[in-house]
Amino acid sequence: MKKKLKIILCVYSFFILGLSPSYCQSTTIGEGNADGVVVTTSSSTNNSAGQNTLSSQGFLPNLNAASRFLSQASYGGSYEAIEQVAQMGIEDWIDQQFSITRPFDVMGKVVEYQTIKNNAINDPMDEGAHRYYFDFAWWQYAMASPDALRQRIALALSEIFVISSFSGFGDNAYAFGSYYDMLLDNAFGNYRTLLEDVTYHPAMAEYLTFMNNPKTNVVEGTFPDENYAREIMQLFSIGLCELNLDGSCKTNNSGNPIETYNNVDIAEFAKIFTGMTYYNPYCTFGCGPMDYEETYLSNIVMVDAEHEPGSKNLLNGFVVPNRNPVNGDADVADALDNLFNHPNVGPFFGKFMIQRLVTSNPSPGYVERVAEAFNGQSQYGSTRGDMKALIKAILLDEEARSCFAADDNTHGMLREPFVRYMQLCKAFDLNTSSGNFRNAMEGVYNYVGQKPFYSPSVFNFFQSDFQPIGDIEAADKVAPEFQITNTQSISGYFNALNDWIVDDEHSDEWGIYGEEWETYSDEQADFDFSDELVFASDPELTPQLLDRLNMILAHGKMTQPNLDAIEEAISHFEIDTRDCDLECLPWCPPPGQEGHDPNCDPNVPMPDCVMYCENDKAYSRQLRVRMAIYLIMSSPEYLINR
């Protein structure tokens, strides 16, 4: 990924016969390995410290480093996108991404698909927008919008602030469309606003069962639902144990972790989230989501008469006052402030985001630096909860950027299966003639068990502290993505690669209202392998092809033995070199013979034959490219992103 400087340090001993070398030791400096080393530049105009000579920054940007960065900050990029980052520089690219205005709302596309359906099949009762309308809209946004960083952050947020199709609103595209727009809107905002918007979103209230949450009624034996009160602490903000700034658990005198909350705290927070219901001017308390889909387009509202009155004792001695009259929204604001200002949030949320973007096992120092950025105590900003500061602290940290870390076998992460799929589509410019896309992603989910908002539980597809048995557990490390890695998902991924790459079956381009193929043929997507095909027809160019694919997909991390094995494998896919013009010359029966056609010219190739022949030749070249991609994306160096 970058050059290193190797210094031979020789220690000499004094012998009677003179100085002789006793032993020599090779020491590599650079790649961030600079302990105890000082370099001074020899520039005649600026004699200064040469720290960049030792750190990764002195060798950035370059294509492999830019590719690696995009695999963390986005779904990965095409060759052109990687070049752009290498030319701009990483921080400038981040700033550019921060400045991009969202081009459209996902919810707007859902309504557009619903309108097409209603107009086409005369649905005056408007049966609603099916779940896959959201999938189409999500896919359109992912493929057509330039805000790659915002999308990657939103996906990570969807894996902590989880809602799922496995719920009461599982087929309601309004719920998912409005919720995903909310995550996109908050990706570059402030965590405090994000926490409030999640709390007031009807999809979350429905999913974690605090919609129409009743206040205490001892006579009737009803008490507030505790589900959201528990999860907002355990999963969304502070976690289970008191944390040091570096993410490690604080312990008591017995060496046991100090718990952040107990059952009494859960019961007190549950009182906060009472009296909240759907917004709809035609509904009274108790309106349900199937009555009006549009209720998912507005925040839930507080009905003070149904809110638990009285004071509430929250964390760290904070007391919500006994408000008279009852003011439920003020109680909620106090509770969210109590959580937002808890010292755990920076290291807890920061570590989660590091794990989603960069590495499963960040060092304590890395977590601490990111937590400081969240707390408003870094070079990136002075506002607590600033998502932009948090993102920069994660992506620009030396532990994320250093090639030294990339060579550490405890660094990095198993790529999420869905992210691999997205990288494939981005790397090779999946495109349509109209610029419009549709993909229900059903095949992706069936093969690898992942797609947006299809988590089996509130704990996401995998948990951040998951330890697979074996070497990882023995080393006391974690590998979250391995929780969904098993014989079924492994074989499913390889079968999926064959479908996506070799068979060109990469998208579930369903009809909006049935079999209306002719109305959306311009939304059928294709990969663009034209740049790679330049290297496919000549076996002498195979190393260049593999170098290009290695850089785009694996950031230059493929080992030479594996590249050699792939080169050997794809060499067996012979390139079709037929002369189609010669092969497609017609046989013209002579005059007087049955079948004679006076317009037949034996010297003019048949157009249909030439077209099919040329397509066969092109496919033979494409097969070599496609198999190279398949094999690289099956390799350990690709699957573990370091």
Tens-digit pLDDT profile for residues 287-307:
554 455 778 899 999 999 999
Collapsed DSSP state (helix, strand, coil) of residue 536: coil
DSSP secondary structure letters along 273-293: T-SEE---TT--TT--TTT-G
Tokens 């658990």 correspond to 249
How many CB atoms lie under 10 A from the CB of residue 241? 16
DSSP summary character for residue 592: T
Burial 188-215 (b: 16+ CB within 10 A, else e): bebbbebbbbbbbbbbbbbbbebbbbeb
| Distance between CA atoms of residues 242 and 248, nearest Å | 8
Phi, psi of 284 (to 5 degrees): -100, 180
User: What is the pLDDT at residue 557?
Assistant: 94
Task: Report whether pLDDT(9) > 50.
Answer: no
* Structure tokens belonging to residue 276: 């909240």
Residue 97 identity (one-letter amino acid): Q
Collapsed DSSP state (helix, strand, coil) of residue 105: coil
Task: Report whether pLDDT(319) > 60.
Answer: yes
Confidence label for 148 from pLDDT (cuts 50, 70 and 90): very high
Phi-psi region at 270: left, alpha or beta (left = phi > 0; alpha = psi -120 to 50): alpha
| 103 preceded by a cis bond (ω within 30 of 0) | no
Helices 173-186 & 106-121 angle (0-180, nearest 10) = 160
How many CB atoms lie under 10 A from the CB of residue 361? 19
User: What is the pLDDT at residue 17?
Assistant: 35
User: What is the pLDDT at residue 379?
Assistant: 97
| Distance between CA atoms of residues 451 and 135, nearest Å | 9
- Identify the CA nearest to 189 among candidates 98, 70, 102, 108: 98
Task: Report whether pLDDT(484) > 60.
Answer: yes
* Structure tokens belonging to residue 327: 């003011």
Alpha helices by DSSP H, 341-416: 345-357, 364-374, 387-396, 398-401, 403-406
Question: CB-hemisphere CA count at 13 Å for 351?
Answer: 29
Q: What is the mean pLDDT of residues 49-55?
A: 52
Task: Report whether pLDDT(18) > 70.
Answer: no
| Distance between CA atoms of residues 90 and 93, nearest Å | 5
Biggest CA pair distance of the chain:
111
DSSP summary character for residue 608: H
Task: Report whether pLDDT(4) > 60.
Answer: no
- Identify the CA nearest to 509 among candidates 612, 434, 456, 454: 434
Phi, psi of 21 (to 5 degrees): -70, 125
Distances (CA, A) of 375 to 11, 192, 316, 640: 48, 12, 18, 31
More reliable by pLDDT, 356 or 116: 356
Collapsed DSSP state (helix, strand, coil) of residue 602: coil
Task: Report whether pLDDT(572) > 60.
Answer: yes
Strand pairing report for 413-414 and 276-277: unpaired
Tokens 């926490």 correspond to 195
User: What is the pLDDT at residue 634?
Assistant: 97
pLDDT in tens, 392-412: 999 999 999 987 776 788 899
| Distance between CA atoms of residues 122 and 513, nearest Å | 11
Q: What angle do CA 516, 522, 526 make, to 5 degrees?
A: 120
The answer to whether 556 and 550 are in contact (CB under 8 A) is: yes
| Distance between CA atoms of residues 407 and 2, nearest Å | 12
> Mean pLDDT over all residues of the chain?
88
Task: Report whether pLDDT(86) > 80.
Answer: yes
pLDDT in tens, 485-540: 999 999 999 999 999 999 999 999 998 876 565 667 889 999 999 999 999 888 88
How many CB atoms lie under 10 A from the CB of residue 175? 30
Sequence-distant (6+) residues with CB within 8 A of 345 are: 191, 237, 238, 339, 374, 385
* Structure tokens belonging to residue 347: 């290291």
- What secondary structure, in 3-state letters, does 458-484 show? CCCCCCCCCCCCCHHHHCCCCCHHHHH
User: What is the pLDDT at residue 147?
Assistant: 98
First to last CA, the chain: 12
More reliable by pLDDT, 9 or 52: 52
The answer to whether 308 and 224 are in contact (CB under 8 A) is: yes
Helices 560-570 & 542-554 angle (0-180, nearest 10) = 120
Distances (CA, A) of 306 to 61, 144, 485: 58, 45, 45
Strand pairing report for 276-277 and 301-302: antiparallel
3-state helix, strand, coil in the chain (%, to 5): 50, 10, 45
| Distance between CA atoms of residues 278 and 380, nearest Å | 39
pLDDT in tens, 447-476: 999 999 999 999 999 999 999 999 999 999
User: What is the pLDDT at residue 168?
Assistant: 73
The answer to whether 319 and 313 are in contact (CB under 8 A) is: yes
**Whats the size of the chain, residue-wise?**
642
Confidence label for 36 from pLDDT (cuts 50, 70 and 90): low
User: What is the pLDDT at residue 10?
Assistant: 35
| Distance between CA atoms of residues 569 and 2, nearest Å | 29
User: What is the pLDDT at residue 514?
Assistant: 67
User: What is the pLDDT at residue 22?
Assistant: 38
Task: Report whether pLDDT(326) > 70.
Answer: yes
